[in-house]
Amino acid sequence: MRILVVEDEQKVANALREGLEGEQYDVIVERTGEEAFFRTTTEQFDVILLDLGLPGRDGLEILRALRDRGTKTPVLVLTARDALQDRVTGLDAGADDYMIKPFAFAELVARIRALVRRGRSAETSRLAIGDLDMNVVTRKVTRGGRAVDLTVREFELLEYLLRHQGHVVSDR
């Protein structure tokens, strides 16, 4: 389990690193938004903890840039700014959860676990190719946003093909 911590305050960053490593997470810390953004272009993370107040490009800009690029990694925003507007803006920009500093470490860990679980189930319940989208939990299929009616057998065949994208499959 890998976590990217984006935090410019050394003390907070160190505390997060120690605490999360104690919970058996691999922790990478970046101090600026630019470095964090670059890091996410080359590496995969299970969760990103993102401080909003950063030097240079702030956390919200980084978050928007990540989502514009299609990165779906769960992002938990950390901020000292206890304002409803910040919370709304953060969630609008694509944050999955939100914590206001100072927070209890145990709560942070619980929220991280929830995000990882949610991320996993979203990942495995949805299959897609091009504009075709399949939710294997609700058994709904859409193409270009329009519902497609399939028989049970058609659904199963399509699911099988989607799960084997890029591979030659046999009917035997």
Q: Which is nearer to Ca ion, 83 or 161 (CB)?
A: 83
Candidates 19, 53, 94, 119; binder of Ca ion (CB under 5 A) is 53
Q: Are strands 132-135 and 140-143 parallel, antiparallel or unpaired?
A: antiparallel
Residue 55 tokens, joined:
């030097």
Choices 2-10, 26-34, 59-67, 155-163; region in contact with Ca ion by CB under 5 A: 2-10
Choices 24-32, 53-61, 81-89, 106-114; region in contact with Ca ion by CB under 5 A: 53-61
Does 51 bind Ca ion (CB under 5 A)? Our answer is yes
Alpha carbon of 35 to those of 7, 9, 11, 26: distances in Å? 11, 15, 19, 18
In the complex, least distance from residue 85 CB atom to Ca ion, rounded to whole angstroms: 18
| Backbone dihedral region for residue 122 (phi beyond 0: left; psi -120 to 50: alpha; all else: beta) | alpha
Does 8 bind Ca ion (CB under 5 A)? Our answer is yes
Task: State which residue has the least CB distance to Ca ion.
Answer: 53
Does 35 bind Ca ion (CB under 5 A)? Our answer is no
DSSP E strands, the chain: 2-6, 26-30, 47-51, 75-79, 97-100, 126-129, 132-135, 140-143, 146-148
Burial 131-159 (b: 16+ CB within 10 A, else e): eebbeeeeeebeeeeeeeebeeeebeebb
Choices 7-15, 27-35, 68-76, 101-109; region in contact with Ca ion by CB under 5 A: 7-15
Does 61 bind Ca ion (CB under 5 A)? Our answer is no
Q: Which is nearer to Ca ion, 31 or 111 (CB)?
A: 31
Return the residue matching tokens 């049970």: 152
Choices 47-55, 57-65, 109-117, 151-159; region in contact with Ca ion by CB under 5 A: 47-55
Q: Which residues bind Ca ion (CB under 5 A)?
A: 8, 51, 53
